[in-house]
Amino acid sequence: MLFVWLSRLLLCLAILFAARKGDEPERLVAIILVASFVFDVPNHLIFGDPTWFEVNPGHFVIDVWALLTFTWVALRANRGWPLWISATQLIVVMAHFAKLLEIDEARRSYWILTVVPGLLQLCGLIIGTWAHDARQRRIGRYSAWRPA
């Protein structure tokens, strides 16, 4: 229970920091993280509480959507850190596939592979926003997006 509240507190801090100090890529990643959390509420109303013995279809859809949107931001942003966020989300999606295929190791590590990357994403957002702010103070305003 403490873990849940600490992760929610970290989410709030990361969102506020990205909204205050970040530019469009930081804010988009923050919006995706909040949307994933918000989408999870009706998911639990529809599919019930998650069990770690089977894949929750709602979690799978939310995680695939998050992977696609994180990857879009990562490929277009003029920053390197969104690639790390996208990579951690890929770990989550691959854990779902491993669980669906009933790979033996996936049963033991499914919780770790689906929960821990979310914490890494929050830390990545905080560090990425801090790096953006430091870079902006050092060199001035710069383009948030790579040229097409």
Give domain status of residue 107, yes or no: yes
pLDDT value for 30: 97
pLDDT tens for residues 44-100? 888 777 666 678 889 999 999 999 999 999 999 999 999 999 999 999 999 998 888
Give domain status of residue 44, yes or no: yes
Give domain status of residue 13, yes or no: no
pLDDT value for 148: 77
pLDDT tens for residues 108-135? 688 888 889 999 999 999 999 999 999 9
Give domain status of residue 17, yes or no: no
Residue 133: which residues within 8 A CB-CB, separation 6 or more? 21, 22
pTM: predicted TM-score of the whole model, two decimal places: 0.91
Quickly state the pLDDT bin for 28 (edges 50, 70, 90). Answer: very high
Give domain status of residue 100, yes or no: yes
Task: State the residue range of the domain holding 39.
Answer: 23-139
Supply 63's token pair.
């995680």
Output the 3-class SS for 73-136.
HHHHECCCHHHHHHHHHHHHHHHHHHHHCCCHHHHHHHHHHHHHHHHHHHHHHHHHHHHHHHHH
Give domain status of residue 105, yes or no: yes
Over 70: is that where the pLDDT of 10 sits? yes
Give domain status of residue 145, yes or no: no
More confident residue, 107 or 119: 119
pLDDT value for 18: 98
pLDDT value for 99: 85
Give domain status of residue 73, yes or no: yes
- The count of structural domains within the chain is 1
pLDDT value for 131: 97
